[in-house]
Structure 1
Amino acid sequence: MGFRSSLAFVGRLVNELVSFVVFSALDLLDVFLCLVYKLADYAKEAALDLLDVFLCLVYKLADYAKEAEWKPCYCSSSSTNDMIASSGNILVSDGNNGRSKIVCLCSSSKLQLEDISDTLYCRSSIVSDISRATVEELRRKKVKRSATTTVTINSTIVQMLKGKIGGQQSHPVPRWSDCDCKTCTSWSSASRNSLYVHVQSPDDGSIPKEDVLFIHGFISSSAFWTETVFPNFSESARSKYRLLAVDLLGFSLYTLREHVDMIERVIEQHDVKSFHIVAHSLGSILALALAVKYPDSIKSLTLLAPPYFPVPKGEQGTQYVLRKVAPRRVWPLMAFGASLACWYEHISRTICLLICKNHRVWEFLFKFITRNRIKTFLMEGFFCHTHNAAWHTLHNIICGSADKIDGYLDTVRDRLDCNVTVIHGRKDEVLPVECSIAVKSRIPRANLKIIDNKDHITVIVGNQKSFARELEEIWNNTKQ
């Protein structure tokens, strides 16, 4: 036992050391890519790549001076001069800790700045963590200075809000680093008044007795449901239920409020009065927000792998959840991938440039290798998301909901009388099974089911037949 303990300790130490070196290097790489992308964003046509920009910038600069703007990123912050001050549109306040804090937005729009997660523009690197700790230690040895209050806000958020309030998009659609094929363009430029929804009504044309709303997870699509569960429902279920699966892409800053507003429009457009909800991963947060908004309309709530991390007292919720979702470790690989996606804006954009923009090539190669024996709906759903959509949704929904989700769960527990079922794969490396256990502890009446040998995806994919039967049982046992 002593030898094994020592070996485990050495393993952890090596992991910590390697993680420090790797992520310190990634911090520097992300800063470099920030500069590269600021130059590359001047390129108007998708055919221009990073190498072309350095050569054509001199010739194009004069042409673009009156047309293009220097596109900021979340690595930079603006001063008070960048605020939208006309008509009191934006109010920004800061505490005495030197960090920007968004308070509220006063305009005709429903969007509020407090919906924007601070993890978008406040993600300290390992190097800066060490530097900050050193500075704070030095300050403790000096005479305490009087506190001052400054007002700052990240310039990217300001620019996007200017575009939203003025009725114009802050970024062209598609951007040069996004795919411009028909499918991707239609998804990313969806109307502000509509959201794609796949509706499956009874085959015989009869009026369905009940509605079921399906909400997919992060960087997925409605195909996550329509290609798996929908075809496996029984004939009786097909004749009784109308199934609605939405595509979550949204627009602008991709906040929780915006996503919920778009789903509400689907509910209104299809005259949905009361309904069941089935949600996976990130979609579970939206499902809870809808349940809180429509407490008398929810007939049952089924959550699969909900991203719920109870925030310890004294911790900042958004930053705590960011560290839990993306711990900046090189192992396991899932943690490494999540860290790249969450912490490094420009590295993750580069990945989207290489994969999503060229998805037709990857899809062709995959189909050629497998000889079309494997359906690629998971890949296709992943590829259709732009970096802009994925980046903002990840931070504003998963991290930004950290201070809201406790209240949502308490409302479901105290105000809703519907059945609550929570399902999680025991081998889930994306979101640990402890997330669902925590939901169960918050809502004691919830039925928790942990499935052995299943992970974040296979809890449904490959398990669709039994899952379809389980959903039918849940709906049939619902109070009328």
Structure 2
Amino acid sequence: MAAPLSCRRFLTIVSKSSVSLISAIVFAFLDALDAVMCLFFRVLDELLEGESSPCYCSAARKGDRVEKEMSESLFGRGNMIRDLVGRIGGGNWGFGFGFGGVGKLGKIRWSDCGCSSCVSWMRINGEDDDDDDDDDEYRLHLVVQQPERAMQENDSGDAANVQNVIFIHGFLSSSTIWKETVFPNLSELSRQSYRLFAVDLLGFGRSPKPRNCLYTLNDHLEMIEKSVILPYRMKSFHVVAHSMGCVIALALAAKYSASVKSVTLIAPPYFSSSKGNASFEALRQLAPRRVWPPLLFGSAFMTWYEHLGRCVCFFICRNHRLWEWLLKRLTRTRELHFLITDLALHTHHSAWHTMHNVICGGAKMQDEYLKAIINGGGVRVHVIHGTNDRVVPVECSYNMKVTAPAIELEIVPNADHNSVIMGRGKELTKRLEGLWASTL
């Protein structure tokens, strides 16, 4: 038995070494290509818009807001080609032109989709708006499910005997994930007792996708406040979130710890801030520079390469109506699954900044948020994670449990990042109802 085991071990080592070598070659090529595309987009932006868009190819300029609200992963991702050229040129020159703030270059890039559904948020009171100063008028797109019985409000503004629940989706997703899974499976009693709000986060779905925004964690929080909490005069609420939305949910619950009744986190990307640079730790674990498996390669490609990612968004997102039409013809279906259509309902600007500033940048704040939620308000926190999650490793939830033992951890066997919600809507909804009812 020893010989076969030794042989398998040897083949495993050889296989891993081969993948590492191929990864090094592939990513060295992508480093060079991204540097070239930086110059390409700079020229095109200047020709088509009169001014080139800021990028993060150089970390030479970083303002106060960058230090406080933006992720370090935006500036220090590293690029073999730019690093080499920088050393040759004295260490302060690169293909990029640094970050100097997002200028008011118009709300839509030439490389973004301008179809009616993608720019509907730009119309205020039915009229086109071209003034960047009116951004305060914009609101997130909401899917609201009101109690079936008539609601009567009391003096505080809350609906009598009705509890509020805010649902926050994950990266490259939308409110539809909740509309199709939890909303239809509520029990009759819950339909009378809960008012549900599923948001399309800023930059995704049918919500605004402004160009003069850096999509920081605070930007997302402010839009949820302005679109949901304040206009509906919420005095208390539950929060349910998936994936990237968990980072926003923790920040929201920490800010409103006296108002939040419970927090449910599904597949949270948690990285303890006590382990060095949490932003880079999140980047390395969620998007390792490896060619295999393909899912991780895709994550690395879109997360490490700003300009190559913009190429992909130009090809797919800008032409999403064409791809949807082709897929409908090929599959002979009238409607595509929402998980497919949601993938293209963003701009490169919104997705790129949200990935880094929320998922990576938010990692350094999560321990502080957990402390404020659990110790400050005694809020009940329930975490759900699938054992087969290849997008956000299940170890993230185990580590969260170690950091905050008071949280309730539920591991779902054989569930991956999406199937932990999809395909088990009835089970998940029943679990949520039990959690909400226990906080009365």
Alignment partner, residue 177 of structure 2: 224
Q: Which moved more, 1:387-396 or 1:193-202?
A: 193-202
Native 8 Å contact 1:284 1:307 kept in 2 = yes
1:48-447 paired onto structure 2 within 5 Å: 68-76=50-58, 102=63, 104-105=64-65, 113-126=67-80, 157-160=99-102, 163=103, 170-187=104-121, 191-193=135-137, 194-207=139-152, 209-250=162-203, 251=210, 252-265=213-226, 266-311=228-273, 313=275, 315-372=276-333, 375-447=336-408
Alignment partner, residue 2 of structure 1: 6
| Match among 40, 43, 56 for residue 44 of structure 2 | 40
What per-residue deviation string (whole Å, max 9, x for no partner) do you get for residues 143-183 of structure 1? xxxxxxx9xxx9664231xx4xxxxxx33222111110111
Native 8 Å contact 1:188 1:385 kept in 2 = no
- Relative to the length of structure 1, the TM-score reads 0.79
Alignment partner, residue 469 of structure 1: 430
Native 8 Å contact 2:170 2:244 kept in 1 = yes
Alignment partner, residue 132 of structure 2: none
Native 8 Å contact 2:56 2:75 kept in 1 = yes
Native 8 Å contact 1:173 1:189 kept in 2 = no
Find the aligned partners of 2:221 and 2:142 in 1 and give their Cα distance: 14
The structural deviation recorded for 1:43 is 4.8
Cα gap change, 1:3 to 1:374, in 2 (>3 Å): farther
Alignment partner, residue 30 of structure 1: 34
Find the aligned partners of 1:13 and 1:188 in 2 and give their Cα distance: 51
**What's the secondary structure of 2:421's corresponding residue?**
coil
Native 8 Å contact 2:273 2:366 kept in 1 = no
Cα gap change, 1:236 to 1:218, in 2 (>3 Å): same
Native 8 Å contact 1:188 1:386 kept in 2 = no
Find the aligned partners of 1:334 and 1:295 in 2 and give their Cα distance: 36
Q: Which moved more, 1:120-129 or 1:326-335?
A: 120-129
Q: Which moved more, 1:449-458 or 1:274-283?
A: 449-458
Cα gap change, 1:413 to 1:189, in 2 (>3 Å): farther
- The amino acid across from 1:283 in the alignment is G
- Relative to the length of structure 2, the TM-score reads 0.85
Q: Which moved more, 1:170-179 or 1:455-464?
A: 170-179
Native 8 Å contact 1:74 1:120 kept in 2 = yes
| Match among 405, 410, 429 for residue 449 of structure 1 | 410
Native 8 Å contact 1:101 1:118 kept in 2 = no
Find the aligned partners of 1:463 and 1:448 in 2 and give their Cα distance: 18
Native 8 Å contact 1:173 1:185 kept in 2 = no
Find the aligned partners of 2:282 and 2:429 in 1 and give their Cα distance: 31
- The amino acid across from 2:309 in the alignment is S
| Match among 11, 14, 18 for residue 18 of structure 2 | 14
Aligned length: 403
Find the aligned partners of 2:186 and 2:427 in 1 and give their Cα distance: 10
Find the aligned partners of 2:29 and 2:57 in 1 and give their Cα distance: 16
Find the aligned partners of 1:312 and 1:14 in 2 and give their Cα distance: 33
The structural deviation recorded for 1:399 is 1.0
Native 8 Å contact 2:220 2:248 kept in 1 = yes
The structural deviation recorded for 1:10 is 0.7
Cα gap change, 1:8 to 1:131, in 2 (>3 Å): farther
Find the aligned partners of 1:325 and 1:466 in 2 and give their Cα distance: 28
Native 8 Å contact 1:30 1:344 kept in 2 = yes
Structure 1 gaps of 5+ residues are 45-63, 79-99, 106-111, 136-149, 164-169
Native 8 Å contact 1:75 1:121 kept in 2 = yes
Find the aligned partners of 2:263 and 2:362 in 1 and give their Cα distance: 19
**What's the secondary structure of 1:401's corresponding residue?**
helix
The structural deviation recorded for 1:364 is 1.4
The percent of aligned pairs where both chains have the same amino acid is 44
**What's the secondary structure of 2:107's corresponding residue?**
coil
Alignment partner, residue 130 of structure 2: none
Native 8 Å contact 1:260 1:286 kept in 2 = yes
Cα gap change, 1:244 to 1:440, in 2 (>3 Å): same
Find the aligned partners of 2:262 and 2:108 in 1 and give their Cα distance: 38
Structure 2 gaps of 5+ residues are 125-134, 153-158, 204-209
User: Larger relative contact order (C-alpha < 8 A, sep ≥ 6)?
Assistant: 2
**What's the secondary structure of 1:243's corresponding residue?**
strand
The structural deviation recorded for 1:42 is 3.4
- The amino acid across from 1:322 in the alignment is L
Find the aligned partners of 1:296 and 1:457 in 2 and give their Cα distance: 31
Cα gap change, 1:33 to 1:332, in 2 (>3 Å): same
The structural deviation recorded for 1:127 is 5.7
Cα gap change, 1:414 to 1:363, in 2 (>3 Å): same
Find the aligned partners of 1:383 and 1:305 in 2 and give their Cα distance: 22
- The amino acid across from 2:140 in the alignment is L
Native 8 Å contact 1:425 1:453 kept in 2 = yes
The structural deviation recorded for 1:373 is 6.8
- The amino acid across from 1:288 in the alignment is L
The structural deviation recorded for 1:131 is 9.6
Find the aligned partners of 1:155 and 1:115 in 2 and give their Cα distance: 21
The structural deviation recorded for 1:317 is 2.4
